[in-house]
Each structure stands twice: as C-alpha cells, then as structure tokens.
Amino acid sequence: MAPVEPTFVEQFTPKLITVLREGYGFKNFRADVLAGLTVAIVAIPLSMAIAIASGVSPDRGLYTAVVGGFVVSLLSGSRYQIGGPAGAFIVLVSVTVALHGVEGLILATLLSGIIQLVIGLFRLGTFIKYIPFPVTIGFTAGISVIIFASQLTGLLGLTLAGKEPGELIPKLMAIGEALPTISTAAVVVSLLSIAVIVAIRRFRPNWPAMLIAVGIASVAVWALGLPVETIGTRFGGIPQTLPTPALPAISLERIAEVLPAALSFALLGSIESLLSAVVADSMSGHRHRSNCELMAQGFANIAAPLFGGFCVTGTIARTATNVRSGAHGPIAGMLHAVFLLLFMLIAAPLAWFIPLAALGAVLAVVAWNMAERHAFAMLLRASRSDAVILMTTFLLVIFRDLIEGILVGFGIGALLFLHRMAQSVKVENARSLIDENKLDSVNGNGRKPYDADLDADPAVAVHRISGAFFFGAAANVGEELDRLDEHARAYVIDFSEVSMIDSSGAATIEGFMHKAHGRKAPVYIVGARPAIRRTLLVHGIKPPHVRFRNDLTEAVGAAHSRTAPGRRRGADEEEEVAAA
C-alpha cells in the first residue's frame, strides 16, 4: 500500500503543537527546564563570541539568540532545534558589515527571512537534502579554518597596523607582520581557557566547559590585573534589556545593495538549519518537517533584526546538547531563550570582565570540533570523485566564497552522479532471457512450447536496455543501438528493466525507429511500463513503425514470423497494426 502524503496543514504544523497534542505534563516540563538551562549556559559565551567575530557588538549575539531562538523553537518543524547565531555565518556577516554597515546587515537579515518563508511555502526545503555529503564536509571544514584564522588576533593579543583583512591569505600576512606585538598575557589566558575546556570535556563531560573556562579566565584577569582586552574595555559592557523593536531604513536602492547578502544568508541558513534538524533526528529517532522548519527560520530572521539581532539558524552543537540533555520538545528551546534574557537582565554587568582572548579560545575549540577531521580523511580515501568534490568545496570556501563553494561542489557532485547513472545504463543481448522460457509448457502456465528457432534466427536482433534511460545516458545508448546488426530484418528491444525514460531517451528510440523503418525492419518493444509506454507514444513511437508486446517470447515469435521466408509482409503488417 502506497504511503499517504501529508496534507498541506500537516506539513506546516509546528512540532510544539504536535508535542502538546501528545500530552504534556510536569515531568516533561521539568525535563525541558533542565535542558533549556543547559543549552543557555552553552549559548551565553558562544553568542557573544560569534557576534564579536562577526564584526558586531556582543549584545547583538544575545539579541539574536533570545529573539531568534524563541521564535525558532515556537514554530519549528523539529522537536529539538535550537536557533541562534552560528559560526558558519561569521565570514558572511563580517563582509556584509564591512560593505553595508550594521543597518545593512539588519536589512539583509530581514530580507533573508522573507526569502526563507518563500522557500518553505513553496516546499523547496525537500531539495536541500540532495546536497552531497562531501560538499557538507568540505564546507564545514572550510568554515572551521576561516573561524580559527579569524581568532588568531584575539588569541595572541596582536595589534594590527590597520583593519584586519577578510581574505585568508592577506589576513595571515597581516597577522605575520603583527607578531612582534604579541601579548604574553593574552596567550596565557587563551591557553588557560582551552586547557580548561579540554580538561572538563575529558573528565566531566556533563559540565558546561565553555562557560566555566570563560568564568575562570575572567576571574584570573580581574584578580591579577592582567593587561588583556575585555568586553568592557572594547564595547563598554552589554545592555541589561532588549532594545525597542524598530525597522531598518528600507528603500529599493538599499534592498538592491544588500540582496546578494540576503540570498547568501537564506541559502546558508536553510542548509545549516536542515542539517541541524537531521542531526537531531538521528540522535532522537524523530523526524522533522523540513518546510515547516524553513518557515520557522524565516519568521525568526524577520523578528531578530527588529530587535537589533542578525542571522538566525539552527545550530548543530546547541541542538545536539539539547537532545543529550533530555529535552522533551520545543519548550526546551523556548526556555533556553528565556534563560538568556534573564542573564541579560540580572548578570549583564559581569560581562564587562570577560576577556576577548577567552572568547577567542571558545571559538577556536568550536572550529576544531567543526572540522570533521575523521570524515574528511575518510572521504579522501573513499573514491576519487568524493575527494574531488570535497577538496573543491573546501578550497573554494577558504579562498573564494562560501556560497560559491557550496554551488560548485554541488554542481560537480551532480555531474559525477549523472555520469555514474549514465554508465549504469546498458544495452545487451537479451537472448539469454528467452532461454528461461524453455520449460514454460512443462510448468503448465498456458504458454506455447518453446521454439528453438526463436533464438537461432540471425535475422532477429534481440537486445535489452536496463537502468534509468535519461539524457545523461541517451548518447551512449544511441551509440549501442547504432552498432546493432544492420543486416537484421527485425529488432526486439526489451524495456522490462528500464526504470524511467525522459524525452532525450525517447528521442533516441525514435531515431533508431526511423533508421529501422528505412531498412523496412520492424521494431518490437517489450515490457514497457505504462508511464514509459506513454512517453514513447507521445514522441511518435507507435504502430505501424513500432509494436508493443508484454512478453519477450511473443515478440521474438512475431518478429521471426515477419522475417520467415515465403511470408507476405504486407498482410502480416496489417494484422500487427490491427492487433496493436
């Protein structure tokens, strides 16, 4: 029985409604409270670190996590998705800020939300799952390199001569020139923070390693009076409340300027969010609603910039933490946003003492974990095609552009897939299939006894096509058909193993049909499925030039009769056309 397709309403029903319909009690709420608190503790340093690395103030990272995170969980198509600022956006956001300023970033984020709503509404999220695995790994590995490189200045406490370049090679050259300004105190704080994170994850994996490391570093800097730059010395701390919602300046000229950035945000955010939802599915055993998820991301990216936030997406690390912490449903993600807001209301003054070197260490660890080193090495060994896709995506992401890396990697992957599919389509001699029918009369299935002359008649060419007969394979199949014996007086082509055919495949058969007709050789097509036969008929592949048969032995018998000496071809052909 074919599966029933979900209705439009079912596809866009948030998981929050699904969870509440299942029954939601105090035990479930307690689990969500603990999970939400755990994720919030992880999100506090990450949100500020990602914002700073993106070229904006740390409070904007918290606004994004609070407003965007709440809306994502409220409307999400995943039970466990945690929304907020993500490391994958650091490069795109920093470039957008450099080109268009913070106001431009806010407008681009709002437009990206509208684009995601359109993608979700037209149910295009389903197609994002077709991005090849090597593209995903190459992309995340490239992002990890970029993030780590962006933190070298903070980790080493360097003072650059000018503005830090965005491109990798110029960035590394500028960092190299600034090495004489290295700060011993910043290096000590960075190494201390990394050591604390690694040690806690090794011996106490359930503890909030990043928050503890940032806390220890902050206390050390304050107590010892270390000359290290902090959030307070650079940004003057963070506000204790959310700003009043406001629209950015909107004009057609401004929209045209930031539209490329908005498209990049929408595409990257959609990919990242659905990857995060897939990770949550694999960990929990539940299934997300991809298009509903994109709608949630769209609404979040409209809401967050109204409060001064920027790009929101599903975050893999925080979502995985949510699942591992025992969350029951989306309320955990909503509570995580509430806890972040309480942190701003109560503990914002403490952010003054957080050293930027410690936040750089947090992102350095994030970059190391993002690199997917084992998967990267595995794909390099797996096959030449996987290695090509992987390295192309990886290098383009690092040295060119994130979206360009994804699109080119996807394009190469699609071409290689089409090539493999084309190679899998075969044209081969099908007479061996006739041998299987020799005992039909003995089995009592009503067929006529097998005639040994059927597969001994050189005047009848019998061949089978197998596989997906699409445009990628049409040229190869056409060449094989051209090689068929030109002296044959009839052709039987077995279509029983053809899974699908497109217009290119049908045009190839049509061309062969006309060549055979020119030689006055009848063509029989055997075992074509209804959909395939319909496509062939639309292309003019029909009697009297081609006859369709359901059984190979029957078709060979008819062809043999047509080619037998002494038979009147015209009368036989009229009989065949009438039967068809």
User: How does pLDDT run along the chain (580 residues), one tens digit per residue?
Assistant: 444 567 777 788 999 999 999 999 999 999 999 999 989 988 988 899 899 988 899 999 999 999 999 999 999 999 999 999 998 888 889 889 989 999 999 999 999 999 999 999 988 877 766 778 888 888 888 888 888 888 898 899 888 887 778 778 888 899 999 999 999 999 999 999 999 999 998 998 888 888 899 999 999 999 999 999 999 888 888 888 899 999 998 999 999 999 999 999 998 899 889 888 888 887 887 888 889 999 999 999 999 999 999 999 998 888 988 998 889 999 999 999 999 999 988 988 888 899 999 988 988 888 888 788 888 988 888 788 889 999 999 999 888 877 788 889 888 988 888 877 777 777 777 655 454 444 444 444 444 444 444 445 677 888 889 888 887 788 788 888 877 767 788 899 999 888 888 888 888 898 888 888 888 889 999 999 998 999 899 888 988 889 999 888 888 888 888 776 655 544 445 544 444 4
158 and 52 in a common domain = yes
| DSSP category for residue 66 | I
353 and 471 in a common domain = no
CATH number at residue 539: 3.30.750.24
| DSSP category for residue 289 | -
488 and 350 in a common domain = no
492 and 366 in a common domain = no
Strand 546-549 versus strand 523-526 pairing type: parallel
> Which residue bears the tokens 């994850």?
201
The verdict on residue 202 lying in a domain is yes
Long-range contacts of 486-490 (CB under 8 A, 24+ apart): 486/519, 487/458, 487/459, 488/458, 488/459, 488/460, 488/461, 488/521, 489/459, 489/460, 489/521, 489/562, 489/563, 490/459, 490/460, 490/461, 490/521, 490/522, 490/523, 490/524, 490/559, 490/560, 490/562, 490/563
> Which residue bears the tokens 């990886």?
394
The verdict on residue 19 lying in a domain is no
282 and 188 in a common domain = yes
The verdict on residue 138 lying in a domain is yes
308 and 204 in a common domain = yes
Q: What CA–CA distance (Å, rounded) separates 37 from 33?
A: 6
368 class by beta-carbon count within 10 Å (0-12 exposed, 13-18 middle, 19+ buried): middle
Q: Which domain holds residue 481?
A: 426-433+456-562
Q: Report whether 72 contacts 312 (CB < 8 A).
A: yes
Residue 496: HSE in the Cβ half-sphere, 13 Å Cα cutoff:
15
Helix (H) or strand (E) holding 241: none
**What's the pLDDT score for residue 431?**
57
Query: What is the identity of the amino acid at 559?
Result: A
Q: Report whether 389 contacts 177 (CB < 8 A).
A: no
380 class by beta-carbon count within 10 Å (0-12 exposed, 13-18 middle, 19+ buried): middle
Cα–Cα nearest to 48, from 92, 90, 104, 102: 90
- Bridge partners of 549, per DSSP, are 526
The verdict on residue 393 lying in a domain is no
The verdict on residue 391 lying in a domain is no
Number of domains in the chain: 2
Q: Decide which of 356, 372, 388 is a domain's last residue.
A: 372
| Beta carbons within 8 Å of 302's beta carbon, 6+ residues apart | 110, 113, 114, 117
The verdict on residue 52 lying in a domain is yes
468 and 329 in a common domain = no
512 and 366 in a common domain = no
**What's the pLDDT score for residue 128?**
67
Angle at 371 (CA atoms; ends 113, 393), nearest 5 degrees: 65
The structure's pTM equals 0.73
152 and 46 in a common domain = yes
Q: What CA–CA distance (Å, rounded) separates 546 from 524?
A: 6
474 and 366 in a common domain = no
The verdict on residue 405 lying in a domain is no
φ, ψ (nearest 5 deg) of residue 544: -90, -5
Q: What CA–CA distance (Å, rounded) separates 50 from 87?
A: 6
Name the average pLDDT for the chain: 85
The verdict on residue 260 lying in a domain is yes
150 and 247 in a common domain = yes
473 and 360 in a common domain = no
